[in-house]
Structure 1
Amino acid sequence: MNRFFLFLVVTAFATAAWRETTSAPGTMAALSKAAIDGAGQAVTLAIGLIGVMSLFLGLMRIAEAGGLLLIIARLLQPLMVRLFPDVPANHPAMGAMVMNFSANLLGLGNAATPFGIRAMEALERLNPHPGTATNAMAMFLALNTSGLTLLPTGVIALRASLGSSDPAAILPTTLIATTCATLTAGFAAWGLARFFPAGSRRTVVKPMDEAPSDVHGAAATQVLPPPPEATLDPQTQAALEETPSLPPYPLWATGLFFAGILALIPLSLAVGAALSAWLVPGLIVLFLLFGAVRRVPVYEQFVEGARDGFQVALRIIPYLVAILVAVAMLRASGALTGFVSLLAPITTPIGLPAEALPMALLRPFSGSGAYALMASILSDPATGPDTLVGWLVSTLQGSTETTFYVLAVYFGAVGVKRIRHTLAAALLADLAGIAAAVAAVHWLYPDV
């Protein structure tokens, strides 16, 4: 992200300098004004986002406190046993992976990260080749980076803050794209494993409290700072600390759960546009009723979640400033116009407008950077949240994950340096997610 940010700013400055001295005097003055305006726009955007972000995080806190995370975990467990045949059903790794996927389904990224790191530590105990990713690790991270999410609350909140007439209408397109990405990740991780052998067997089982080590026995160097601690309700925190072997629901219940998710796809294709206006008020009522049935103090939990939403909105201001300033400078210098006109003949025929291509390229590298870039695109009067480009970048942000960051954090946490086929499977999932997002947006909203 450092190089990407530097590249954007230097490119904008060089383009403006060339145009200033050759064909367009005044470009450099426009560049200066764009940089200042972009910084102010970032703060204004974040302030407008506070209320909507607080609303959605307040609702998610009610669901989390009511045990929805654990309910989904118990529904997922029968499938997990089949996806990870090398991991014993009662092993701590299985419980941590189940909780990680459950948090991702609900869009609770802060909760998913500590569960994921715990899962990698437990999987490392089963690793016969220290320093080399096992098939279970590759499958876990490929599925993790595919970004399977049912509720892209952050994207909906941003769209609402920017005046979208239907901010939740990206739910059907996101569901289609994220489902395709996840299926691709699973099949790719399974199919590629045979072409990337792990090597000679070395049976090493480490206790959970021992620091992970690399193949030479030295303490692993963490490649990134540890992620911030998530604020979890007591029930979920207990699940994290104990990594329980959760009693699964009957297999028929798991089948119904996934049948319901898959049924949402044709339902979205048939009546998604008509039902989208009902989604936000429907979600509010459903989460409140769920909390009430589970005897959750809904008002207190909502306030706690809303407080977190306030902090999240403030925390993203620096990222918004960086990206919005860089994009504003690119636009004022004329470099962005040139880039779009250069790529449009290539990407437009396949349904991907050149304006959305930077978002597709940045998403695997930086989640915060991609979110800020999406905000810049959606707030641009030339595009806006309810145009083809706006629908597409919103779907891309809600249906894919920050591939390289996830791999670096999770593998770095246990000292794995030889990742085998994990990256290939994850990138194939990213490509599938992008293709599915393009197809879904054009299919559901052909008249946009």
Structure 2
Amino acid sequence: MGPVFIFLLLAAVCAGLFTGRIEAVSRASVEGAQSAVTLAIGLVGMMAFWLGMVEVLSRAGLLGGLARALRPLFRRLFPEIPDGHPALAAMTMNIAANMMGLVNAATPFGIAAMRQLDRLNTRKGTATDPMCLFLAINTSAVAVFPTGVIAARAALGSKDPAGIVITTLLATTVSTLAAVAACLLLARLPLFRSTRPPMTDEEMEPAPEPEFDAGPEGIDASSPPAWSAPRLSFAALVLAGAVACGIWGFGQMARSGLAAHEFRIALSAAVLPAIILVVVLAGWARKVDVYAAVVDGGREGFQVALRIIPYMVAILVGVGMFRASGMLDAVVAAVDPLTRAISLPAEALPMALLRPLSGSGAYAVMSEIMQTHGPDSFIGYLVSTMQGSTETTFYVLAVYGGEVSLRRSRHAIPACLVGDLFGVLGALLACRWWLG
């Protein structure tokens, strides 16, 4: 990240002096720092709550069980991680939340995963191969239902706001496969190759948090409370009742003539409460003090925010100054001949370049393009698919890397940028195929 940050600052200052935009560059440095702190504070609440949910799962003994169940799937991707390690479960829940467009819920799980991966790290401050691969998968955004983009399309009057689901799924598949392949290939290059073997279970650092006290198999060493048969039966009845209420409620929506896209949005909105209900019932049935677990786990949310603020300030200031200096416009002009060769509309180019740098900036550009050209135009579909099929690369690196104080990201950035590039190409091909 160091060379990237230095390049952004030097390019912004030099371009600002050359073009006479130095006042805008100066203002962007102040606004970027303020927005970084505001954004981090805004994350505290969601982080505190969802880290509390992670604590409930851990005390109920479900994290280790989930990790062991998923080990066959992750064995080839993450061979360095011991069987049943909590990092596997945290990564799985992070990816699942991202797939449903639940970004706020995914972030705490991702932070928990990075924290666990760092326990396997013999070189603190340097990204391991599993860290790089996890970051690459995150930034390529395995998205199935991009709720935020669908809501924006609906607000702008699209006749089919959820029409981008298929194109987003195709584009995110391309970007994820490319990011994973790039990460695995780059890890073999001498420049990025790890020089130390992965830690064995005996070498693992003792866990500072009780919820991840690793035992001989890398899972929670403390035996979770046994299932209470009466509580489990009652929890099953509550869950069955909730499912029945959901079926009845959605049936009423369907009979009332609710538009298809509104029905999909309502269905997606039900996912988050459903996850909360399942976690709480599972913890309660396992005789876990759910309230105490949520409070204890939530305390970590404030510490996480404090740890990531410096990293977010650095990235958002650098990106803001780079954009204010006019360098982003210059890059757009420079690569325009290349984008014309692949028939990428010039109007969508700023979106493609801004997406890895600024999530809010890319969202604003997407909205402006759809306002100008219409959400159901080819360009409207294209920028919507770009927004939904990849993540804000440098934001993810700043938040997740900041949690474990990464100073050397190795091949994480190149792999993530390869995923971003193929995400744009995948979005272009998917939209051309889908729209004919």
TM-score, normalization: structure 2? 0.57
The aligned residue for residue 373 of structure 1 is 365
Q: 1:434 aligns with which of 418, 424, 430?
A: 424
Structure 2 Cα separation of the partners of residues 88 and 101 of structure 1: 19
Deviation at residue 278 of structure 1 after TM alignment: 4.3
Distance 1:97 1:87 in 2: 12
Instruction: Letter of the 1:80 partner, please give it.
Output: F
C-alpha deviation, 1:427, in angstroms: 1.0
- Aligned equivalents of 2:339, 2:187: Cα separation in 1: 32
The alpha-carbon distance between structure 1 residues 102 and 342, as it changes in their structure 2 partners (threshold 3 A), is: closer
* Aligned match of 2:74: 80
> Of the candidates 378, 384, 389, which is equivalent to residue 388 of structure 1?
378
> What is residue 233 of structure 1 aligned with on the other side?
none
Describe the SS at the equivalent of 1:83.
Answer: coil
Residue 354 of structure 1 deviates from its aligned partner by: 0.8
- Superposed CA deviations along residues 219-250 of structure 1, whole A, max 9, x for unmatched, are xxxxxxxxxxxxxxxxxxxxxxx9x9xxxxxx
- Residue 409 (structure 1) aligned to one of 399, 404, 413: 399
Superposed displacement of residue 166, structure 1: 1.3
Cα separation, 2, equivalents of 1:342 and 1:441: 25
Asked whether the equivalents of residues 132 and 198 of structure 1 are also in contact (C-alpha less than 8 Å), the reply is: no
- Structure 1 residue 347 and structure 2 residue 339: aligned? yes
TM-score w.r.t. the length of structure 1 is: 0.56
Quote the offset at 1:416 in angstroms: 2.1
Cα 1:136/1:114, change in 2 over 3 Å:
same
SS at match of 1:147: coil
Given candidates 78, 98, 106, the residue that maps to 1:104 is: 98
Match of 1:424 among 414, 417, 436: 414
SS of 1:82's equivalent in the other structure is coil
Q: What is residue 129 of structure 1 aligned with on the other side?
A: 123
The match for 1:399 is: 389
Which digits, 9 at most, give the CA deviation of each residue in 1:284-339, with x for residues without a partner?
468769989x999xxxxxxxxxxxxxxxxxxxxxx9xxx9xx99xx9xxxx98x99
2:193 aligns with one of 191, 197, 202: 197
Contact (CA 8 Å) 2:362, 2:387: kept in 1 or not? yes
Q: Which runs of 5+ in 1 are unaligned?
A: 16-60, 211-241, 245-276, 297-318
User: Which residue in 2 is equivalent to 1:159?
Assistant: 153
- Residue 263 of structure 2 corresponds to 281
Once the 2 structures are TM-superposed, how far is the Cα of residue 422 of structure 1 from its aligned partner? 1.2
The alpha-carbon deviation at position 376 of structure 1 amounts to: 1.5
Q: How does 1:66-77 map to 2 (within 5 A)?
A: none
Measured after TM superposition, the shift of residue 367 of structure 1 is 0.9
Name the aligned partner's letter for residue 199 of structure 1.
Answer: T
The 1:14/1:130 distance shift into structure 2, 3 A limit, reads: closer
Question: Do the aligned partners of 1:121 and 1:208 also contact (CA within 8 Å) in 2?
Answer: no
1:347-402, Cα deviation, whole Å (9 max, x unpaired):
2341211111011001001111111111121122xx12122211111000000011
Secondary structure in 1 matching 2:351: helix
- Contact 2:126–2:406 at 8 Å: present in 1 too? yes
CA contact (8 A) 1:135 1:193 kept: yes
Stretches of structure 2 lacking an aligned partner (at least 5 in a row)? 22-49, 210-221, 225-258, 279-315
Which AA in structure 2 matches 1:364? P
Select the residue among 349, 357, 365 that pairs with 2:349: 357
Q: Matched residue pairs, number? A: 295
2:194 counterpart letter in structure 1: A
Compute the displacement of 1:345 (Å).
5.0
- Alpha carbons of 1:164 and 1:77: their partners in 2 closer, same or farther (altered >3 Å)? farther
State the identity as a percent.
49
- The alpha-carbon distance between structure 1 residues 110 and 76, as it changes in their structure 2 partners (threshold 3 A), is farther
